[in-house]
Amino acid sequence: DDGRGIPVETHKEQKRPAVEVVMTMLHAGGKFDSETYKVSGGLHGVGVSVVNALAEQLDLEIRRDGKIHKQSYSRGDIQTPLEVIGETEETGTKITFLPDRKIFTETVFSFDIIAGRMRELAFLNKGLTINLFDERTDKKRSYHFEGGIRSYVELLNKHKETTGDPLYVDKEKDGTGVEIAMQWNDGYTETIYSYVNSINTIEGGTHLSGFKTALTRSVNSYATKSGLFKAKGESLSGEDVREGLTMVLSIKAKDPQFEGQTKTKLGNNEIRGIVESVVGEYLGDFFEENPAVAKRIVEKGLAASRAREAARKARELTRRKSALESGNLPGKLADCTERDPARAELYIVEGESAGGSAKQGRERAFQAILPIKGKIINVEKARLDKVLSNEEIRTVITAIGCGIDEEVELEKARYQKIIIMTDADVDGAHIRTLLLTFLFRRMRKLVDAGFVYIAQPPLYRVRKGRSEWYAYSEEDREKILEEIGENRRGVQVQRYKGLGEMNPDQLWETTMDPDKRTLLKVGMEDAVGADDIFSVLMGEKVEPRRKFIEEHAAGVSNLDI
């Protein structure tokens, strides 16, 4: 980096170079000296000292006070004394490290994970430039956003119709910096990211509570004052107001208190009041000065409110039924006898015939089967009331049993493996995509928790005499045929188009037997990227989809025409 460089002067208490204290002692980070950093994401001051301890080699180069200083470490121990190796007018620190292979079984760095975090940091610190080079593949990225989180919100809404420019506030109150960018779009889901000192607080906390309270209060206050409510005493809920909202909230706090070690939820009570005050004041002024935008926001909330009321009755059907009330589970569900969710699996299977084979071939003790017919509703283009009026969706929600949207309670999920099993053709891929869109938009916590999987049924069966092999890809098939060798007389190759072409035993052996099957786990390395791709492929706008298809057409290996 081109910062100030880690201090090299003698530490007052330790009587040795300050850099050695930082590199080798726990709880010695710059965050503990309020003069050094105004705010810091560190909690314990252990970051670089832990990296040093877990590196078989770490080389340090510091440019500070006109000199270049160098030092080497191995597994936290000093290998060479701190020495001056040259002069410079620049400042900053360069750290090169190799993870300890005795501790880490895998030391492969994921470019995409690092790139996602670097981009996030560049958004959150406007004007900062971060360059990322992957010398293994020559991949390069440079991130710099003058607009900061405003640019972040614009990126998130890139493929959606919006209600005007992002609303933006950047203010300091009682020593806490509050920066917010928000913009409504024509979609039906809220996309909210909250940060404290550049740390993603994925579980929210007091800062997010303060924002939500102020937003709901401000919209209701304006609507009442402007006569936009028809009935006396009418009001909008927070859920109504936030429908279609994309918002990034970034707090800079001197002493953040997090709940738990993972820093995913902020606990400072005073920050709730600070954010509430800043947002309330800003929105009050904004709505007065921009009545047309305010009216559109209220009208969108009113439409959401009407839909919510229509969805209320349908939502009752989604409430979790306990094991004792299993009579309320969908009739199509062939449940398992296992009552421990950690051991229970739910196969969502395309088609009644495949569902029948799966029911016969499964292990009844821990595998439940839910057949769904036809294509479910595309939730990217539908409001909740429409989503819940779709029978197949209701069946899936009721079977899983943990509720939807903000009501999802993971501990109430009846299965911790939810496996999508569809045909290996275009229709099957479409149904799988519709189910993934639903799970991502309406039951996101299941995806985050790693409960969602995709079954991998074979594409081919190769038979010769009494021997048979299953191929899960074109490469597999070629390999099997190569192994059979020159004598291919009597070889039969069957291409499976649908799951229904397999009998129950074959389905069990190839796709459902835990000892032999392959499952793809659905996860997210880049939540923003996932959000964007669902918007492009499943959203209302045709142009981004056409562009995506044109750009990726050459990479299609299995085209079903």
Give the 3-state DSSP-derived string for 140-174, with helices as H, strands as E and coil as C.
EEEEECCCCHHHHHHHHCCCCCECCCCEEEEEEEC
Q: So what's the pLDDT on residue 325?
A: 42
* Domain residue spans of the chain: 18-108, 149-315, 319-457+519-523
Tell me which of 405, 427, 476, 526 is the catalytic residue: 427
In 30-76, the DSSP E strands lie at 55-64, 67-74
Distance (Å) of CA 216 to CA 241, 243, 279, 388: 6, 12, 11, 25
Do 471 and 325 contact (CB within 8 A), yes or no?
A: no
CATH of domain 319-457+519-523: 3.40.50.670
| Virtual torsion, Cα 264, 267, 271, 273, nearest 10 deg | 120
Residues in contact with 504: Cβ distance below 8 Å, sequence separation at least 6, in sequence order = 357, 358, 360, 361
Distance (Å) of CA 52 to CA 21, 97, 426: 12, 8, 50
Tell me which of 20, 423, 531, 532 is the catalytic residue: 423
Q: What is the DSSP string of 88-127?
A: -S--EEEEEEEE-TTT-S--PPPHHHHHHHHHHHHHHSTT
> Which residue type occupies 179?
E
Integer-rounded Cα radius of gyration of the chain: 28
Predicted confidence (pLDDT) per residue in 367-424, tens digit = 999 999 878 999 988 888 888 888 899 999 999 999 888 888 999 999 999 999 998 7
- What are the φ and ψ backbone dihedral angles of 205, each rounded to 5 degrees? 135, -160
> Which residue type occupies 188?
Y
pTM score, two decimals?
0.68
Q: So what's the pLDDT on residue 326?
A: 45
Predicted confidence (pLDDT) per residue in 335-351, tens digit = 999 999 999 999 999 98
Tell me which of 338, 350, 392, 532 is the catalytic residue: 350
Pairing of strands 367-372, 345-350: parallel
Residue carrying structure tokens 């539908």: 382
Residue 425 appears among annotated catalytic residues: yes
Tell me which of 239, 259, 270, 425 is the catalytic residue: 425
Which superfamily is assigned to 18-108 in CATH?
Histidine kinase-like ATPase, C-terminal domain (3.30.565.10)
In the three-class reduction of DSSP (H, G, I as helix; E, B as strand; rest coil), residue 480 is classed as helix
Element (H, E) at 2: none
Residue 165 appears among annotated catalytic residues: no
Predicted confidence (pLDDT) per residue in 355-366, tens digit = 889 999 999 999
- Closest residue by Cα to residue 440 from 529, 307, 553: 529
Could you give the percent of the chain with pLDDT greater than 70?
A: 92
Query: pLDDT tens digits, the chain, 561 residues: what are they?
Result: 999 999 999 988 888 999 999 999 887 655 445 455 556 665 556 789 999 999 999 999 999 999 999 999 999 999 999 999 999 999 999 999 999 999 998 888 989 889 999 999 999 999 999 999 999 999 999 999 999 999 999 999 988 889 889 999 999 999 999 999 999 998 888 999 999 999 999 999 999 999 999 999 999 999 999 999 988 889 999 999 999 999 999 999 988 998 876 778 999 999 999 999 999 999 999 999 999 999 999 999 999 998 887 777 655 654 444 333 444 677 789 999 999 999 999 999 998 888 889 999 999 999 999 999 878 999 988 888 888 888 899 999 999 999 888 888 999 999 999 999 998 778 888 999 999 999 999 999 999 999 999 999 998 999 988 888 999 888 889 999 988 877 777 889 988 878 888 899 999 999 999 999 999 999 887 777 788 888 888 888 888 888 888 877 776 666 665
Q: What does the alpha-carbon distance between residue 202 and residue 113 come to, in Å, rounded to a whole number?
A: 16
Residue 427 appears among annotated catalytic residues: yes
Strand order in the sheet with 167-173: 167-173, 176-184, 245-252, 191-196, 199-200
Q: So what's the pLDDT on residue 33?
A: 52
Distance (Å) of CA 159 to CA 156, 163, 182, 512, 527: 8, 13, 16, 38, 16
Residue 350 appears among annotated catalytic residues: yes
Q: So what's the pLDDT on residue 142?
A: 96
> Which residue type occupies 401?
G
Q: What does the alpha-carbon distance between residue 385 and residue 304 come to, in Å, rounded to a whole number?
A: 9
- Closest residue by Cα to residue 206 from 137, 268, 143: 268
406-428 core/surface letters (b: 16 or more CB in 10 A; e: else): eebeeebbbbbbbbbbbbbbebb
- Class of the CATH domain delimited by 149-315: alpha beta
Q: How far apart are the first and last CA of the chain?
A: 52
Do 120 and 128 contact (CB within 8 A), yes or no?
A: no
Q: So what's the pLDDT on residue 315?
A: 59
Do 457 and 496 contact (CB within 8 A), yes or no?
A: yes
DSSP 457: -
